[in-house]
Every structure is written in C-alpha cells, then in structure tokens.
Amino acid sequence: MEAADIVLMKDDLFDVVVALDLSKVAFRRVKINFFWAFIYNIILMPIAAGVLYPWTGFKLNPLLAAVAMASSSICVISSALLLNRYKKPSYHS
C-alpha cells in the first residue's frame, strides 16, 4: 500500500507549490522556536538549579522559576501562532 505525501483537495497544481512553501515556513519557525528554547534552557536552568549561589548568594525562588518556564512556553506558542499570518506565494500564469 502506498500513501501520498501531499493530497490535493482541488484540481489546482499550484496548491503543491503552496504546500511546499508553507512547509518551509513552518520548518523555519520550528528552528527559531527550538533555538530560543535551547538558549533559555542553557541560561536559566543552571540559575534555577543554584549554580550562582556559591559566588553571589543568589537563589532563584521556585515560584519565579515556574513563571519563567511558563512564559517561555507562552513565547514559543505565540511564535508558532505567527504561522496564521502566512500568505500564499503569488501565482503568475
């Protein structure tokens, strides 16, 4: 049994171009979200674990760490929602 990678719902082949363009835009957004989540975790996770405490005496309140983690998730979700602004490439016949 075989399956199609793209299923056209109309008889317009330009929809294949749109699907490929949308997939590039979505993958770019995934990479951006991954980058920022990675940077966030590299910087703030050690601080939340108390790495700075021996030198500076700074301890992050667990409540603030939870708020920071939730706001990180909200930023990633908001960034992903920018895909709703996707504009189809123009069709020139």
pLDDT tens across the length of the chain (93 residues): 777 777 888 888 898 899 999 999 999 999 999 998 888 889 888 888 888 888 988 888 888 888 888 888 898 899 989 999 999 898 875
The per-residue pLDDT for 28 is 94
CB-CB contact of 83 with 25 (8 Å): yes
Quote the CA–CA distance of 35 and 65 in Å, as a whole number: 20
The per-residue pLDDT for 93 is 58
The per-residue pLDDT for 81 is 93
Residue 48 CB contacts under 8 Å (≥ 6 apart), including other chains = 60, 62, 65, 68
- What are the Cα distances from residue 86, in Å, to 3, 10, 19, 93? 27, 20, 11, 22
pTM of the model: 0.74
Residue 17 CB contacts under 8 Å (≥ 6 apart), including other chains = 89
